[in-house]
Amino acid sequence: MSGLPKLLIIYAVAIPLAIVLGFLISAPGMGSIVVIGLLIFLFSLPFLLKRHHLLLILFWNSAFNAFFLPAQPHFWLLLAGLSLGISWLNNVMGQKNFIRVPELTRPLIFFAIVVLAVAFIRGFGVRALGSSSFGGRGYFYIFGAIIGYFALTAERIPLGKAGRWTGLFFLSGSTFALSNLIFLLGPAFYFLYLLVPPEYAISQAQSEAGTTDVDRIAGLPPTCVAIVCFLLARYGIKGILDWRKPWRFLFFCSTLVVLGFGGFRSVYVLIGLLCIIQFFLEGLYRTIYLPISVGVVTLAVALTILFADRLPLSMQRAVSFLPVTVDSSVAADAAGSWDWRINMWKTLVPDIPRYFFVGKGYRIGPEDLYLADMATQMGLVENFEVSRVAGDYHSGPLSLIISFGVFGVIGFLWLMCAGTKVLFRNYRYGAAPLRGINSFLLAFFVAHSLFFLFFFGDIRSDLMVFTGALGLSISVNNGVGKKPSARQRPVVAQMVSQVA
């Protein structure tokens, strides 16, 4: 009988709440979505307080949106702010957290100040918050990436969980394929696009409508990159090539084949850079794995060259950077994409002196975008004009120098140099059980830096890639590895030999 009053209280709260939720769900709208989101947040608050750091790691690379907020930002952005806030409150209450790495904090703060100054000078332009202009969403992702770094470094990942949490950090990127899966399931499931971005299914819709000959599944590249990163972080190049466990190599190769259905040439370049750098960091260039790897890559390229014209059109486009014969429509599409970028870059280069000291920022007047769109449709301007006005330059360096000027470039390069140094020290002096993780994070950071500078990039979306890798490394290693003193070296050498 003592439990009866408690049961009555539960029913008295749960039944009216269920009725209210049922009414809100039956009459969907922004207000209903906000209320439901707040209720979900309140019920999950105890779990958030305990597992906020793990949730941030789990969702950092995921595709999920916070559908209950204006503009539906990526879920990692919301979790970055929540996790940092919870960690700060814990720190205020006496819990010693936040792993301090001044050599990374300084360039991050400098870059944040530059971005904030440009935003104040040029205007924020956040339409979702009532502004008459838009485009300011990019500021939130840049500040979110910086906040996320401090949230990731607020707690140390236990040594025994480092491998598993690192794997989850990268594998969550496989959720981008959900956008394509929802499209295949049909209109009855389109409500799920509240959770994941629909733009990855645009190519499928265009193919179905007959407006393009190349059926590209845009969600596959980030999904396959996530799987490749998981395999490299978990097993390394040497582990993938282990002949005693052939399923690893077969799964790796299958992922590279599936990647081709996305139709993106640059992703193969990124994975190639990543594998080559990690191959050298693992020291495999001095072993039998060098001729084996060269032979495997040579055979794969030779087979691709011989049978390229028989592959699906999307795969032909993905390998069109090789000296292969492809379908004429694929060749025209690939050449057109390259010419489109080159012509836009030629137009943008004269703008650099104009925005050299004070960048253009992200604020976009709606009339500018409208006029650019109308002029493009009428053939009065080049077909890249809308992307140019929107700041979608398809170039990492241009997205920096035009958006934030020379000071933004200085801040970013400072972060790249400091980040590479920190990751190298963790790779060189980190704990022996973390050797594989640290070698991969260094390879991942350097490969993405080269890719950003020379192939493709946008600081709005790519900064979180760099700060995420840095924050994860700091959290895993509990700071930055230090060179052992002469007195410690014999002990360290003995520990390494025991682990090996």
Summarised one tens digit per residue, pLDDT across range 463-473 is 999 999 999 99
Q: Which pLDDT score is estimated for 281?
A: 95
Q: Are residues 361 and 443 in the same domain?
A: yes
Assess whether 114 and 198 both reside in one domain.
no
Express each pLDDT in 34-67 by its tens digit: 566 666 666 677 777 888 999 999 999 999 998 8
End position of a domain, from candidates 326, 351, 379: 326
Q: Is residue 87 part of a domain?
A: no
| 144 and 176 co-located in one domain | no
- Range name among 43-52, 110-119, 191-200, 313-322 with the lowest pLDDT average: 43-52
CA distance 113 to 325: 50
Tally of structural domains, the chain? 3
Global pTM value? 0.88
Same domain for 353 and 494, yes or no, is yes
Alpha carbon of residue 188 to chain centroid: 29
User: Does one domain contain both 365 and 393?
Assistant: yes
Convert the pLDDT of each residue in 155-198 to its tens digit.
Answer: 999 999 999 999 999 999 999 999 999 999 999 999 889 899 99
Segment 306-326 mean pLDDT: 90
Pair 261, 304 in one domain: yes
Examine the domain organization and report whether 184 and 207 are in the same domain.
yes
483 occurs within a structural domain:
yes
75 within domain boundaries: no
- Would 80 be classed as within a structural domain? no
- In this predicted model, which residue has the larger pLDDT, 72 or 116? 116
The residue segments making up the domain with residue 36 are 4-49
pLDDT at 499: 41
- Do 131 and 208 fall within a single domain? no
Instruction: Please report whether residue 398 resides in a domain.
Output: yes
303 falls within a domain:
yes
Residue 19 has pLDDT above 80, yes or no: no
Of 12, 31, 49, the last residue of a domain is: 49
Average pLDDT, the chain: 86
Q: What is the pLDDT of residue 467?
A: 97
Q: Is residue 54 part of a domain?
A: no
> Is residue 103 over pLDDT 50?
yes
Same structural domain for residues 141 and 213?
no
What is the identity of the amino acid at 344?
A: M
For 471-499, what is the mean pLDDT?
71
Q: Which two tokens stand for residue 66?
A: 């916070």
Comparing 22 with 460, which gets the higher pLDDT?
460
* pLDDT of amino acid 460: 93
Distance CA 121, CA 170 (A): 37
Answer yes or no: is 257 within a domain.
Answer: yes
Closest by CA to 276, choosing from 262, 261, 290, is 290
CA atoms lying within 13 Å on the CB side of residue 258: 18
Higher pLDDT, 154 or 205: 154
> Is it the case that residue 283 has pLDDT exceeding 90?
yes
Same-domain check for residues 307 and 411 = no
Question: Where does the pLDDT of residue 137 fall: very low under 50, low under 70, confident under 90, or very high at 90 and above?
Answer: confident
373 and 492 within one domain: yes
- pLDDT given for residue 1 in this prediction: 45
Helix axes 396-429, 102-122, angle to 10 degrees: 170
Query: Tell me, what's the pLDDT at 156?
Result: 93
Can you give the pLDDT at residue 79?
A: 93
- Per-residue confidence (pLDDT) for residue 72, from 0 to 100: 83
Secondary structure of the chain as H, E, C letters: CCCHHHHHHHHHHHHHHHHHHHHHHHCCCHHHHHHHHHHHHHHHHHHHHHHHHHHHHHHCCCCCECCCCCCCCEHHHHHHHHHHHHHHHHHHCCCCCCCCCHHHHHHHHHHHHHHHHHHHHHCCCCHHHCCCCECCHHHHHHHHHHHHHHHHCCCCCCHHHHHHHHHHHHHHHHHHHHHHHHHHHCHHHHHHHHCCCHHHHHHHHHHHHCCCCCCCCCCHHHHHHHHHHHHHHHHHHHHHCCCCCHHHHHHHHHHHHHHHHHCCHHHHHHHHHHHHHHHHHCCHHHCCHHHHHHHHHHHHHHHHHHHHHHCCHHHHHHCCCCCCCCCHHHHHHHHHHHHHHHHHHHHHHHHCHHHCCCCCCCCECHHHHHHHHHHHHCCCCCCCHHHHHHCCCCCHHHHHHHHHHHHHHHHHHHHHHHHHHHHHHHHHHCCHHHHHHHHHHHHHHHHHHHHHHHCCCCHHHHHHHHHHHHHHHHHHHCCCCCCCCCCCHHHHHHHHHHHC
**Tokens standing for 20?**
């209210």
User: Quick count: other Cβ atoms within 10 Å of Cβ 136?
Assistant: 22
Residue 31: the pLDDT is 55
Residues 178 and 266 in one domain: yes
Rounded mean pLDDT, 213-220: 84
